[in-house]
Amino acid sequence: MKILVADRISPIGVDLFKAEAGFEVVEAYGSTPEQILKLVKDVDGIAVRSETKITAEVLAAAKNLKVVGRAGVGVDNIDIESATDHGVIVMNTPTGNTIATAELTFTHMLAGTRPIVQACARMREGGWDRKKFTGSELNGKTLGVLGMGRIGAEVAKRAKAFQMNVLAFDPYLTESRAKELGVSLSTFDELIEGSDYITVHMPLTAETKHMLNAETFQRMKKGVRVFNCARGGIIDEGALLDALKSGQVAAAGLDVYEDEPPAEASELRSQENLVLTPHLGASTQEAQENVGIDIARQIIDVLKGGLVVNALNMPSVDPQTLDHLAPYIHLSEKIGTFSQQLGLDSVEKIVVRYFGKLVELETLPLTNAVHRGFLREITDTVNDVNAPKKIADLGIETEEVRTQAHDNFNELIEVSVINKDGKSRTIGGTLMGKQQTPRIVSIDGHAVEVNTDAHLIVLKNKDVPGIVGFVGQVLGEDSVNIANMSLSRDKGQGFAVSVFELDSIPSEEATQKIVAHDAIEKYKVISL
């Protein structure tokens, strides 16, 4: 394996690649985009910080690339969509700089409470203006935390130590987790209207861009203090400047900006009650070392076939869960392949149903396996990373359904493909016996038992005598050996479904003979 370390990370991380994993390592700090394009041609993994851009062009040039690791949190320098298209895992290290960013946030809060920065600057000028720099106290004040992930939670813990009341807004925060952290779960409106201090700890998305703006600033308490050490753009900087000038916002602190760095002439640089730092969130010795070590271990695990953690474009599953899911993943992929080959044009929807004990498992890897199997015969270079996106790009919707029990099986995976005319095909599968052998057990409601590693003929025929013998004779004349056969009869409609497991695929001549029989309604060759 070959690793490109494009930006400087902890030497311990580089040593892990070399000594622990035995990988070839190319350290290419400060490379130009043109140099990066040449260096990536034969690498299996890339480690970056924020300097090197992993663009669509870079990803297209890196034919062997399997993983890009960001030593840090933000991945603005990585084209995740293009990486997903190429089947490349993108991962970051969200925990390595948690404490560093939380402590910087609290430093900003303290600097916005006591004007230490401004007082220091005046002292260096020879001044002694004690009255001018009267501050406030954190004790007894209400802090509003927008986003209660790892960093938001650490900020809240420190606020509690300062005897602050903490309001928390996060769409994913539960009452039990809020109680555990000692914070009050609130709505966005309650938080911005009831807080003396507001700090932002959310990602920048279409929903969070300019979350704090002219309208929200006016709804806040007069004299509120506002801080952002998360992502630039969550606060409307123009609106913040207006609020600082009017006194609606008494003080603010920013470590991140809509444009980095801000222009030299930016008003942000001259606003006296605004403390600025140059994106220092992860800039501690401990954090820099932690993220370098973390990303090295994560990349090594991926390339050695182990655990995938902190992936941004595929689910992360722990090794024990993955071992347990392995036979179900194999089965799910085969069902997906069977569903696609059974044949419906213009598929618009895939419904994956999990029955019985399967509802207790992490099913996303299984659904991804269905996607991968469905795409196997119709697209190149499909894997767990790009399969869901390729399905979506085809305009196919996916739905998961979980049901506690099934009439005939303790565990069952059932996949239905539905086309634009509402027609559907449904394939069911399960694991059988102590060996957990995967089997297809139903086709459009007809009970069968089919090996998932075989060439198959699936027939729907009128339930009349002689069909099995006829098919056997034709295949025998074609030197195709029948390994197994499963038959399901539907007496009410007068049809039967037969599945023949074969050692090889029939010739076109044999196929035409079978299809020409008056009793054969449908004929399909499936290769699993």
Q: pLDDT tens-digit profile of 136-176?
A: 999 999 999 999 988 999 999 999 999 999 999 998 788 88
Q: What whole-number distance in Å separates Cα of residue 250 and Cα of residue 224? A: 6
Looking at residue 10, what is its pLDDT? 92
Tokens of 344: 């419906």
Q: What are phi and psi of 358, to 5 degrees?
A: -65, -25
Q: Which CATH number fits domain 326-450: 3.30.1330.90, 2.60.40.1260, 3.40.366.10, 3.40.50.720?
A: 3.30.1330.90
Calpha distance 32→199 (Å, rounded): 37
Beta strands 455-462; 24-27: pairing state: unpaired
Q: What is the Cα 1 distance to its own chain's centre?
A: 25
Q: What is the pLDDT of residue 25?
A: 96
Contact 459, 497 (CB under 8 A): yes
- % of the chain with per-residue pLDDT over 90: 64
pLDDT, position 319: 62
What's the pLDDT at 36?
Answer: 96
Strands, sheet with 142-146, edge to edge from the N-terminal-most edge strand:
184-185, 165-169, 142-146, 197-200, 224-228, 249-254, 274-276
Q: What's the one-letter identity of residue 516?
A: A
What is the pLDDT confidence band of residue 492, given thresholds at 50, 70 and 90?
low
Domain edges within the chain: 2-95+286-303, 98-276, 326-450, 454-528
Residues belonging to the active site: 231, 260, 279
Residue 306 predicted with pLDDT over 70: yes
Q: Which CATH number fits domain 2-95+286-303: 3.40.50.720, 3.40.50.300, 3.30.450.20, 3.40.50.150?
A: 3.40.50.720
Which residues partner with 199 through β-bridges? 145, 227
Number of other CB atoms surrounding residue 172 within 10 Å: 8
Mean pLDDT of 122-133: 92
Helix 98-113 with 150-161: angle, nearest 10 deg:
50
pLDDT over 70 (residue 96): yes
pLDDT at 317 over 80: no
User: Is residue 269 very low, low, confident or very high in pLDDT (cuts 50, 70, 90)?
Assistant: very high
Compute the distance between CA of residue 194 and CA of residue 146 in angstroms, rounded to an integer.
13
DSSP state of 41: G
- What tokens does 512 get? 């035409």
Q: Is the peptide bond before 438 cis (omega within 30 degrees of 0)?
A: no
Return the percentage of the chain with pLDDT > 70, whole number: 98
Helix axes 285-303, 98-113, angle to 10 degrees: 150
Contact (Cβ atoms closer than 8 angstroms) between residue 363 and residue 347? no
- Distance (Å, rounded) from C-alpha 276 to C-alpha 270? 10
Tell whether the model's pLDDT for residue 261 goes beyond 80.
yes
Q: How open is the CA angle 339-345-347, to the nearest 5 degrees?
A: 65
What local confidence, expressed as pLDDT, does residue 416 receive?
94
* CA distance linking residue 360 with residue 353, whole number of Å: 13
- Whether residue 33 contacts residue 53, with contact meaning beta carbons closer than 8 Å, is answered with yes
CA quadruple 328, 333, 336, 337: dihedral sign: negative
**Spatial contact of 209 and 256, defined as CB atoms under 8 Å apart:** no
Bridge-partner residues for 169, per DSSP?
Answer: 146
Taking only the tens place, the pLDDT of each residue in 185-230 is 999 999 999 999 999 999 888 889 999 999 999 999 999 999 999 9
* Integer CA distances (angstroms), 290 to 118, 201, 394, 413, in order: 33, 20, 41, 41
pLDDT of amino acid 324: 80
Question: Minimal CA–CA distance to 343: which of 528, 512, 523?
Answer: 523
Residue of 527, 473, 523 whose CA lies nearest to 498? 523
Q: 105 or 492: which carries more pLDDT confidence? A: 105
CATH architecture of 98-276: 3-Layer(aba) Sandwich (3.40)
Assign 318 a pLDDT band (cuts: 50, 70, 90): low
Is residue 261 reached through a cis peptide bond, with omega within 30 degrees of 0 on the bond before it? yes
Of residues 298, 378, 304, the one with CA closest to residue 337: 378
The predicted structure's pLDDT at residue 493: 67
Global confidence as pTM: 0.63
Q: Residue 333 CB: number of other CB atoms within 10 A? A: 23
Identical fold, 2-95+286-303 and 98-276: yes
pLDDT band at residue 15 using 50, 70 and 90 as cut-offs = very high
Which of 56, 52, 45 shows the shortest CA–CA distance to 16? 45
239 versus 433: which is more confidently predicted? 239
pLDDT tier, 364 (very low <50, low <70, confident <90, very high otherwise): confident
Element (H, E) at 186: none
DSSP per position, 15-35: HIIIIIT--EEEE-TT--HHH
Cα gap 162→380, rounded to integer Å: 57
Indicate the pLDDT class of residue 82, thresholds 50, 70 and 90: very high
Does the pLDDT at position 323 exceed 80?
A: no
The tens digit of pLDDT for each residue in 344-362 reads 788 999 999 999 988 888 8
Question: In the prediction, which pLDDT does 410 show?
Answer: 87
Return the half-sphere exposure (C-beta side, CA atoms, 13 A cut-off) of residue 103: 10
Higher pLDDT among residues 321 and 263, named by residue: 263
Q: Which of the two residues, 194 and 380, has the higher pLDDT score?
A: 194
Average pLDDT over residues 297-308: 88
Give pLDDT, residue 491.
63
Split at pLDDT 50, 70, 90, the class of 379 is confident
Sign of the dihedral through C-alpha 212, 217, 221, 226? positive
Is the Cβ–Cβ distance between 448 and 441 less than 8 Å? yes
Contact 398, 367 (CB under 8 A): yes
Q: What is the pLDDT at residue 496?
A: 86
What mean pLDDT comes out for the span 281-300? 92
**Opening angle at CA 192, ends 189 and 197, nearest 5:** 160
pLDDT over threshold 90, residue 237:
yes
Q: How confident is the model at residue 390 (pLDDT cuts 50, 70, 90)?
A: confident
Domain 454-528 has CATH 3.40.630.30: no
The answer to whether residue 312 scores a pLDDT higher than 90 is: no
Cα distance between residue 372 and residue 443, in whole Å: 20
Tokens of 219: 């709804």
Please report the sign of the dihedral spanned by the C-alpha atoms of residue 139, residue 142, residue 143, residue 149.
Answer: positive
